[in-house]
């Protein structure tokens, strides 16, 4: 019969691979193929997420329209060692993620914006000769706001500091 099918260019309903001895992988083999090794950098550890608590908004079976909760067990094809963890709701996971993001953002902001000591800025500006009191006040206000300009001013020789402040004063006015 196989010769008849090949002569007519028909394929058997079970597929060509089956006739040639190439069987599709079993479920276990498919999981092994699809499961990434643990040393990959993009591996996501799902340990502890076996029990997920799902909150349904309003269930028709609830008597007075209150929220109902149901626990569902996640289906796992691979044996994952179970560690005891407190079951968390999606809201808890999101809140925890937001708290971590906010903390990280605050760390970035505090590292990026260093506070200058106003006394140090004023002492540096007052050491520049021939500046009027108004120029000194505006220069102090400008340098306290722009710490990079203050660091640059500190590295300049005294004769160039006056020119820098005068130019900044012209731009500020």
| Per-residue pLDDT at 117 exceeds 70 | yes
Residue 22: band (very low, low, confident or very high) from pLDDT cuts 50, 70, 90: low
Q: What is the DSSP string of 10-50?
A: ---TT-HHHHTT-PPP-HHHHHHHHSPPTT-TT----TT-S
Average pLDDT, the chain: 70
The Cα 94–Cα 19 span in angstroms is 52
Q: Where are the domains of the chain?
A: 2-34, 51-112, 118-172
The Cα 125–Cα 75 span in angstroms is 69
Residue 123: band (very low, low, confident or very high) from pLDDT cuts 50, 70, 90: very high
Beta-carbon-side half-sphere exposure of residue 167 (alpha carbons within 13 Å): 7
Instruction: Write down the pTM of the prediction.
Output: 0.35
Q: What are the backbone angles phi and psi of residue 12, rounded to the nearest 5°?
A: -65, 155
**Residue 73 β-bridge partners:** 51
Q: What CA–CA distances, in Å, run from 135 to 75, 116, 125, 139, 155?
A: 72, 19, 9, 6, 20
Q: Which two tokens stand for residue 34?
A: 């699809």
Q: What are the backbone angles phi and psi of residue 6, rounded to the nearest 5°?
A: -70, -30
Q: For residue range 159-171, what is the model confidence (pLDDT) as tens digits?
A: 898 888 888 767 7
């Amino acid at each position: 019969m196989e010769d008849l099918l090949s002569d007519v260019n028909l394929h058997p309903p079970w597929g060509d691979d089956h006739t040639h001895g190439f069987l599709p992988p079993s479920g276990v083999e498919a999981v092994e193929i699809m499961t990434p090794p643990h040393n990959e950098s993009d591996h996501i550890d799902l340990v502890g997420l076996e029990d997920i608590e799902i909150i349904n908004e309003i269930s028709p079976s609830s008597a007075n329209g209150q929220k109902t909760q149901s626990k569902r067990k996640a289906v796992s094809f691979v044996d994952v060692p179970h560690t005891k963890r407190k079951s968390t709701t999606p809201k808890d996971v999101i809140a925890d993620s937001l708290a971590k993001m906010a903390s990280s953002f605050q760390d970035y902001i505090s590292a990026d914006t260093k506070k200058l000591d106003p006394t140090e800025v004023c002492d540096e500006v007052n050491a520049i000769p021939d500046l009027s009191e108004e120029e000194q006040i505006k220069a102090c206000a400008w340098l306290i706001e722009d710490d990079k300009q203050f660091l640059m001013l500190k590295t300049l020789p005294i004769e160039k500091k006056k020119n820098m402040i005068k130019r900044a004063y012209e731009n500020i006015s």
